[in-house]
Amino acid sequence: MKTPLQLAIIGSGNIARTHADAIALLPGVRLAAVCSRNPEKARELAAASEAQVFDCVETLLTFAALDAVLVATPSGAHEEAVLSALRAGKPVLCEKPLEISTVRVSRMIAEADRSGVILAGFFPLRFGAGARLIREALDTGRFGRLTFLSARVKWWREQDYYRNSSWRGTWELDGGGALMNQGIHAVDLLQWMGGPVKEVAAFGGALAHPGLQVEDTLTACVRFENGALGTIEAGTSCFPGLDLSLEISGDRGTAIMVNDRIEFWRFAGDAPADEAIRSGRAGGEIRGGSSDPKAITCEGHRQQIAAFCHAIRGEPAAVIDGREAGKAVAIVEAIYQSSRSGKSEPISTP
């Protein structure tokens, strides 16, 4: 039997709990350490696996048993933890967004290249059954020429979601609002499905949360390099919170996914599995936090951590590497620039 991989989580907030729950479901993997500036939360997270607790990343990285690191700190603090881990030779799986600017993402990618250590990013919706079915249909040409792709993350967050946090809703540590924090899942799915994005044009504002320095409502138009058009809607201003939805259309077919479940599936020519997919049984294991961030399931994280561990062992694995994870950040960055400039903006990938 293979020796269990010893993983550490840096961070102790809500999403770190999702990481810990996912690790607990994986054979051959153990949560060995938790590092956080909040010792009480770190101890709570570490208790079930009897993991060691650290309050300093540098000290954590001297822990001899450690095989790899999961980063779950506030978004604008990812770079510091990621670079430290890579320089210590530890593979890293980092929460979304990889960082809050393409400049920071580029530094992280460069260090991973220099050190020859794995850098991967979390985008759990890619691992859902619904998303995989759509991607397979795209790869086999069933949609024909892509024409229109739309993604909506019209969620709701109470005022306390921002008021009770030192980092949410700030440019410094959140890197933006509803688009960077919540909507980036949809941004990643769109670019993964539709291919590289050429340019964007956007409007955004704080409409439901007085005094918020970032946007809680945003809409963007997208032009893909292949000529297809698209839209992105992101909000934490839409009571009571709607499920994430994705629509992919081409001149030969259309699919609609809500969270991870296929809700519409029609093509010019039927395939044997289509009727079963249309029955509503396809997908549904991954659920989002449309009105409550604690409602997010750990299934997508479980699958991503499993793939990450296979990659560490040198086995074939579908990890989302740093360059791929950074594409969504580049698109978000251009959307924010467009909302400020009032003009369409090109995409500059890290």
Residue range of the domain that includes 87? 5-121+301-319
> Are both 273 and 148 inside the same structural domain?
yes
pLDDT at 3: 85
Q: Looking at the structure, do residues 225 and 342 belong to the same domain, yes or no? A: yes
**pLDDT value for 64:** 82
* CA gap 112, 108 in Å, rounded: 6
Q: What is the pLDDT of residue 296?
A: 76
Give the helix, strand, coil percentages of the chain, each rounded to 5: 40, 25, 40
The answer, as to whether pTM is greater than 0.75, is yes
Which of helix, strand or coil describes residue 140?
A: coil
How far lies 21's CA from each of 24, 47, 94, 303, 349, in Å?
5, 12, 16, 12, 33
Residues 175 and 272 in one domain: yes
Whether residue 295 lies inside any domain: the answer is: no
Residue pair 9/70 in contact by the 8 Å Cβ criterion: yes
* pLDDT of 102: 97
Residues 6+ apart with CB under 8 A from 27: none
- The pLDDT tens digits along the chain (350 residues) read 478 999 999 999 999 999 999 999 999 999 999 999 999 999 999 999 999 999 999 999 999 889 999 999 999 999 999 999 999 999 999 999 999 999 999 999 999 999 999 999 999 999 999 999 999 999 999 999 999 999 999 999 999 999 999 999 999 999 999 999 999 999 999 999 999 999 999 999 999 999 999 999 999 999 999 999 999 999 999 999 999 999 999 999 999 999 989 999 999 999 999 999 988 766 656 666 776 776 678 999 999 999 999 999 999 999 999 999 999 999 999 999 999 999 999 998 87
Same domain, 340 and 284: yes
Whether 117 and 131 map to the same domain: the answer is: no
Q: Do 308 and 340 share a domain, yes or no?
A: no
Residue 294 covered by a domain: no
Instruction: Please check whether residues 153 and 32 belong to one and the same domain.
Output: no
Q: How many CB atoms lie within 10 A of CB 148?
A: 15
Give pLDDT, residue 290. 75
Q: Note whether 218 and 342 are same-domain residues.
A: yes
| Same-domain pairing of 104 and 217 | no
